[in-house]
Amino acid sequence: MGSSDAIPAAWRAALDPVLATPEARQLGGFISAEEAAGKAIYPPRGFRLAALQLTPLDQVKVVILGQDPYHGPGQAHGLAFSVQDEVKVPPSLVNIYKELESDLGLPRPAHGNLTKWAQQGVLLLNTALTVEDGKPASHAGKGWEAITDAVIAAVAAKSDPCVFMLWGNHARKKAMTVPGLGADTHHLVLTAPHPSPLSAHSGWFGSGHFGQANAFLEAQGRGPVDWRV
């Protein structure tokens, strides 16, 4: 991961045990070897744990789970579905914005930077936190899963009720293996097809997750998320 991507203090108690596992140790070596071989890895060093840096465990209200970072130059900056300000808004995020407009009446933003969500307790987590240029899912199964599974489990173990937005089969299957998210959970678990153009018309549009999330958070006394970016 690199020294510039140290686990933030707020997450260390939850993640220290998994960092000692062989899977986590192998991850650092794998990424270093890939970079040493001249491969472009996204997001760049210093951004790979941005989701954890911007959203401490005790502040998490909502978890949105993606699969892996965008694999084009300059896109990924450590937050699932988010891109840097000057980058064209990707198709999945365009559809997220369309649903926000339909659900809450919010105008569609001109940029795709979701940092303001992260700063309000929306954990924008991918299952794998790095990817090789032009090769989606290229870092799947390389060790990130042990770390991100532990992140999801730590949120599920919180006594504060949270919202889990699980979009697509990958996110659904991933989070449903986590203790604390079963039928008797005190969290709100919302599922829908993925917002990508391939599946958005199969039930993503009209899912109303953003309004449901805020209604739940307000009922729990936690305060709503301002979904404007």
Q: How far is CA 187 from CA 25, 41, 67, 140, 201, in A?
A: 32, 35, 21, 27, 27
Query: DSSP character for 135?
Result: B
d(CA 97, CA 89) in angstroms, rounded, equals 10
- Active site (annotated) includes residue 16: no
Alpha helices, DSSP H only, in the chain? 9-19, 22-36, 50-54, 91-104, 115-118, 144-156, 169-176, 209-219
CB 212 within 8 A of CB 190: yes
Nearest to 117 by CA among 97, 138, 95: 97
d(CA 174, CA 168) in angstroms, rounded, equals 10
d(CA 42, CA 47) in angstroms, rounded, equals 9
CB 153 within 8 A of CB 17: no
Nearest to 222 by CA among 150, 152, 153, 158: 158
Active-site residue identified among 5, 16, 58, 68? 68
Q: Which residues are catalytic?
A: 68
